[in-house]
Amino acid sequence: MKSVLIIGAGQFGCHVARTMSELRCEIMAVDIDEKCINDILPYVTGAQIGDATNADFLKSLGIRNFDVCIVAVGEDFLNSLQITALLKELGAEMILSRARNDVQEKFLLRNGADEVVYPEKQSARRIAVKLSSDAILDFIELDEDHSIYEMAMPKEWVGKNLIQLDIRRKYNLNVISIKRGGKVILPSPDTPMDADDVLYIIGEMKDVRKCFKI
């Protein structure tokens, strides 16, 4: 069970807390706004009202006791930057900070953040990729180049197997699994494709576009 400190109990912080509570994490939430603290209370094991830009207040939380510190302050970037730097000074093991643009992302990384999340950019990219083609049902970005794509089955692939399709050699793509009848299966090289199958493919977007004629 991981111990998590979430600084900023706004909408983003609440969403993170809700998911992490479902994953049985131990969560402490901090915000200067009492209403925000009241909103996040159902999803956390502890909460405090306080100013996280105050070094003495942060120190009183026992920063080294948390596995992850999440800076979810969204509106005031200077506060977010200051909190990130203070957490670093206090010996935080892992700091994840929220950014709203590329410039903020760079400054946060330079001032102590181990990782930066950029929800608006990531959501916009995910939506754009999904809506760019009916073939792409969803995707998970792994790095700047590679993603796992959830793809609809092309009509011309039905009845063929991975040996016949040979997409690894032709397009540098790997089929890592298939969803069939609501269940995920690991196909063997000679497993024939069904019309209702959903493919999970890992590779680069440029190769996906060539392979699926997007």
Answer whether 150's CB lies under 8 Å from 198's CB: yes
Verify that 108 and 7 share a domain, yes or no. Answer: yes
**Greatest pairwise CA separation for the chain in angstroms:** 66
Verify that 191 and 167 share a domain, yes or no. Answer: yes
State how many domains the chain has: 2
Backbone angles phi, psi at 136, to 5 degrees: -90, 115
Verify that 172 and 66 share a domain, yes or no. Answer: no
pLDDT score for 39: 92
pLDDT score for 9: 93
Give the global pTM: 0.68
pLDDT score for 163: 93
pLDDT score for 131: 64
pLDDT score for 143: 77
| Domain closes at, from 117, 134, 168 | 117
Verify that 112 and 129 share a domain, yes or no. Answer: no
| Domain closes at, from 61, 91, 117 | 117
The whole-angstrom separation of Cα 174 and Cα 181 is: 21
Verify that 90 and 178 share a domain, yes or no. Answer: no
| Domain closes at, from 77, 94, 117 | 117
* pLDDT tens, per residue, the chain with 214 residues: 889 999 999 988 998 999 899 888 999 999 999 999 999 999 999 999 999 999 999 999 999 999 999 999 877 899 999 999 999 999 999 999 999 888 998 999 999 999 998 877 667 666 667 666 778 888 887 877 788 989 999 999 999 999 999 999 999 999 999 999 889 989 889 999 999 999 999 999 889 888 888 7
174 token code pair: 């790997």
pLDDT score for 178: 93
